Amino acid sequence: MKFNLFSNKPILFFILGTFAISAGGCAKLGPATIKSQRVNYNLAVQKTNDEQLLLNLARLKYRDTPLFMEVSSVASQFILSTTGNASATLQDNVKGLFGLGGSVGLTERPTVTYSPLQGNQFIQRVLTPLPLKNIALLYNSGWSIERIFRLCFQRMNNLTNAPGASGPTPKKAPNVKEFINVTKHLRELESLDILNLSYEEENDIPKIILSISDEGKNAIAAQKFSKAMNLKPGLKNYVISLSTNDNNNESNQISVVTRSLLGILFYLSQGVEVPEHDIREGKVTRTFKTSGEIFDWKEVTGELLAIKSDSSKPENATLMVFYRGTWFYIEDSDLKSKSTFSLLSQIFSLQAKKIKGKVPILTLPIGR
């Protein structure tokens, strides 16, 4: 018996409908995919970047070698597949019995490319001291002057900010009380909206102008700041410049030594909380006061960043990594630590702009 497809409207409608659904799906696939997947990849990259920073802080506490893997690119291919089928049982003097079926499938094939940071790129990005331009940029982006100076400066004039902490944990306790007090005086002036930082270059020499408004230059905090820094009180402008052999002792000059990105990481890693058994087994360095007492690095970094540890997976963590059999984490309610960690991430990104040239890459086809 002959079977005429066009005389069987149910089958014809099904086939045409399948093609229509496929065509409509293709038309909407691009926008719908961007809407659903862009945020997911954004969250994944941001989360893994933060986890990498936290992991390297834990590594430095144990004097383990840090490693950075940058996500260079994320490519995702989506494949739309459709199938349709129809069956019919035809008998003489009996109406046709038709069976219809079909399916539409969407397959994702992501590819992630990583670039390990090493060689000259590692030196340029991680070991180069922060330029004053970046420090002024951070301040004018809204970050607290106290937080920036405590992270980025290891010395201002005669005041030191644990310069030994810019490397592996020192055995001798630092004296940072006066430096911290100076940054708090500046923070007080900043909170009163009578302080400003601006960046300038004179004969290719970078400098930051620390300006105090006329109504604030005789404030108590300003007086305490100038006295601690051995500066002339009551001035409107003070000049911050990098420490060199040519620095003079003018009463408005602040000579500074900036930390490198690796120095900042070491500095913050000193306060990482480690399990007591790792301390007893000598896996981390103990720091001692001149009295012989054990020095607690929370006196230096506790107000900036608190990284806790636990043998069990924490439930109240905003960020955590598992390393050396221990969970290291930042509590979700610890806003100060979250702010410092966010600033650290921005400093890392700023230093990234220095990298030029090609680096070895690792491309992983994740999907199948």
Q: What is the pLDDT of residue 352?
A: 65
Question: What rounded mean pLDDT belongs to the chain?
Answer: 82
pLDDT at position 95 over 60: no
- Domains contained in the chain, number: 1
Q: Which residues, in sequence order, are CB contacts of 145 under 8 Å at separation 6+?
A: 139, 183, 186, 187, 190, 195, 197
Q: Give residue 356's pLDDT.
A: 47
pLDDT at site 206: 95
d(CA 306, CA 265): 13
Instruction: Give the range among 97-106, 117-126, 263-272, 337-346 with minimum mean pLDDT.
Output: 97-106
Q: Which of 177, 181, 183 is nearest to 144 (CA)?
A: 183
Residue 343 covered by a domain: no
Q: Is residue 308 part of a domain?
A: no
Does residue 58 lie in a domain region? Answer: no
Which amino acid is present at 84?
G
pLDDT at 46: 82
Domain assignment present for 188:
yes
218 domain-assigned = yes
Look up residue 12 and give its two tokens: 């014809």
pTM for this one?
0.78
User: DSSP secondary-structure letter at 124?
Assistant: I
218-228: average pLDDT: 95
Q: Considering the domain boundaries, does residue 21 fall inside one?
A: no
Q: Containing domain of residue 184, as a range?
A: 145-258
54 within domain boundaries: no
**pLDDT band at 364, cuts 50/70/90?**
very low
Beta-ladder partners of 105: 81
The answer on pLDDT for 33 being more than 70 is no
3-state secondary structure 311-366: CCCCCCEEEEEEECCEEEEEECCCHHHHHHHHHHHHHHHHHHCCCCCCCCCEEEEC
Q: Is residue 221 part of a domain?
A: yes
